[in-house]
Amino acid sequence: MDQSSPNPIPSSVLGDADPATAALLATQPEQAQTIALLYEISHELTSILDREELLRRIAERVKKLVNYQVFAVLLWNDSTQMLESVFAQRYENALPSRFQMPLHQGITGTAAAERRTIRVVDVRLDPRYVSCGEEVEVRSELVVPLLLRDRLVGVLDLESTKPHGVQRRA
């Protein structure tokens, strides 16, 4: 191997992704931190069989990167044509509430239907926002669609009690 070229990160870290050089990650530490966390999550995903435990761990890991007060996972149900909540966590306490959301309804349904991430800095100013009757007064929201080969699997819904609250941790 040519000593003058930067050493790529081992492919086991990045899976089938294009190799990233150590120099690139050294100049962009936030990106390196995100890649390392995603790698850690991927190993946990394959070792945890209990869905509730798996989602709780994912919520903990995401909390390291993004500030939120409510973390929810909604999965797409083909037979009912609805997003159905399967997990919610608030301030590290599980929320028992279950709800459904159709595509194109609310910020969550819109993000799922359009298969794109939506971040709303103040939900009171967004006419798409639909309150799900939570005890928490939501002020900002980040919804990330979960896709598998462009097929909708569900969404991650992160919410904060502060305007501009759902953002990357400093």
Give the DSSP letter string of 21-56.
BHHHHHH-HHHHHHHHHHHHHHHHHHH---HHHHHH
* pLDDT tier for residue 166 given thresholds of 50, 70 and 90: confident
Q: What is the CA radius of gyration of the chain?
A: 18
Instruction: Return the minimum-mean-pLDDT range out of 1-5, 59-63, 140-144, 153-157.
Output: 1-5
Query: 113 with 104: CB under 8 angstroms?
Result: yes
* pLDDT tier for residue 16 given thresholds of 50, 70 and 90: very low
For residue range 63-96, what is the model confidence (pLDDT) as tens digits? 888 888 888 899 999 999 999 988 888 765 555 5
Query: 131 with 138: CB under 8 angstroms?
Result: yes
Beta bridge partners of 141: 120, 159
**pLDDT for 21:** 57
**pLDDT for 60:** 84
State which fold the 67-168 domain adopts. Answer: Beta-Lactamase (3.30.450)
Q: How many Å apart are CA 61 and CA 160, to the nearest integer?
A: 17
For residue range 24-44, what is the model confidence (pLDDT) as tens digits? 556 667 767 777 777 776 776
Q: pTM of the entire structure?
A: 0.70
**pLDDT for 39:** 74
Helix, strand or coil for residue 85? Answer: strand
Domain boundaries, the chain: 11-47, 67-168
For residue range 95-142, what is the model confidence (pLDDT) as tens digits? 556 678 899 999 999 999 999 999 999 999 999 998 876 667 889 999
Q: How many Å apart are CA 39 and CA 75, to the nearest integer?
A: 23
To the nearest 10°, report the CA torsion of 170, 114, 81, 99: 30
Query: 126 with 107: CB under 8 angstroms?
Result: yes
Instruction: Collect contacts of 81-84 with beta carbons under 8 A, ≥24 apart.
Output: 83/108, 83/109, 83/112, 83/154, 83/155
**pLDDT for 3:** 47
